[in-house]
Amino acid sequence: MLIDDWWSRYREIIPDFERFLAALALPPPVYLRVNPRRTNAAALQDRLAARGVRLESVPVPGAFRADGLSRPGSTSEFLLGHYYVQGLSSMLPVLALAPEPGQRVLDLCAAPGSKTTQIADEIEDRGLLIANDFKIPRLRALQSNLERIGVTCAAVTSYRGESFPGRISFDRVLVDAPCSGEGTWRERPPRRSRDWDPSQPERLHPLQLRVLSRAADLVAPGGVLVYSTCTYAPEENEAVVDDLLALRSDLSIEPVAPPVPHAPGLTAWQGRTFRNELGLAARIYPHLVDSWGFFIARLRRT
Ligand SMILES: C[S@@+](CC[C@H](N)C(=O)[O-])C[C@H]1O[C@@H](n2cnc3c(N)ncnc32)[C@H](O)[C@@H]1O
């Protein structure tokens, strides 16, 4: 199977599909978040301007598009922790989570720590932030990012998300799930199915449901659970949330309102219908936001 045949499965659900395909051929811009522990936006702007980089505001507080920053991970400002490089759409799940200073927050699939460091900013480094990831090599990147950025409220753990121990409950839980990652396929996507696995969306669904289900156990009553992926596949998105809601009556979907153009979650896909409330979830597409593709759903434990 060629990648174009694969994309055609989304022709009916992605608005303005030809523009979507055109966006996939282009590299996404570099975005960064200023690290308030080490610097501020004006000072960073001055330092990067000396390198010919122009920072342009985007609708996420403290974040910028960095034009002209060709090797964002090798500047002295990066090494000193003045900024964190993160796709604009990857910043949106934490906005949906809306954690507050002093809260207990669990980031269940955290490595390499983009969203963990963003959560630490949102809670002003106050509270308890558990950054968990099952894959040991990725924990090194997580740990080093937390140190580089200077986060002090986080502890790192390494459990399978689906069996994370239930000794404490959390005000906020983020499941940024392992997924097929189609949303990141821009500029150089895999060309043929031997380079990727077309059965992945179906195969990942049970794991995603188990991890999300355990996450729901860990949310305190009244707390918020956010589920996100960087893929378009409904099997990994709406179908996972729909199946979770069929299993539990103590969760309700709340609207996700990212401050960027987006499309609603699907209520039907290939003959299967999902509950109407899934329309409150958000789908982020690269032709609407010049970044990666994402899916975000917000649930509250009643
Ligand atoms: C999409 S990535 C997370 C990206 C991260 N949230 C960030 O913003 O930097 C998904 C992560 O899930 C982890 N993972 C895979 N299987 C897992 C499991 N069973 N339990 C917990 N984490 C798992 C992977 O190691 C990977 O780091």
In single-letter form, the type of residue at position 216 comes to A
- The ranges assigned to domains in the chain are 3-26+88-301, 29-86
pLDDT tens readout for residues 21-49: 999 999 999 999 999 999 999 999 999 99
Distance 41 CA to ligand 1 centre (A): 30
Q: Whose CA is nearest to atom 21 of ligand 1?
A: 161
Average pLDDT over residues 157-174: 96
pLDDT category of residue 193 using cuts at 50, 70 and 90 = low
Structure tokens that stand for 227 in this block: 């589920």
pLDDT tens readout for residues 235-255: 999 999 999 999 999 999 999
Q: What is the pLDDT of residue 195?
A: 73
Q: Percent of the chain having pLDDT more than 70?
A: 99
Mark whether 230 is an active-site residue.
yes
The Cα 214–Cα 140 span in angstroms is: 24
pLDDT tens readout for residues 93-140: 999 999 999 999 999 999 999 999 999 999 999 999 999 999 999 999
Distance 134 CA to ligand 1 centre (A): 7
Pocket residues for ligand 1 (CB within 6 Å)?
90, 108-115, 133-135, 138, 160-162, 176, 178, 211
Distance 64 CA to ligand 1 centre (A): 25
Where does residue 102 fall: left (phi above 0), alpha (psi -120 to 50 degrees), or beta otherwise? left
Q: Which of 6-10, 56-60, 262-266, 284-288 has the lowest mean pLDDT?
A: 6-10
* Residue tagged active-site, from 109, 153, 179, 230: 230
- Asked whether residue 4 carries a pLDDT value surpassing 90, the answer given is no
Q: What is the pLDDT of residue 3?
A: 81
> Quick one: CATH architecture of 29-86?
2-Layer Sandwich (3.30)
Q: Whose CA is nearest to atom 10 of ligand 1?
A: 178
Q: Domain 3-26+88-301 class? A: alpha beta
Nearest to 13 by CA among 202, 277, 272, 226: 272
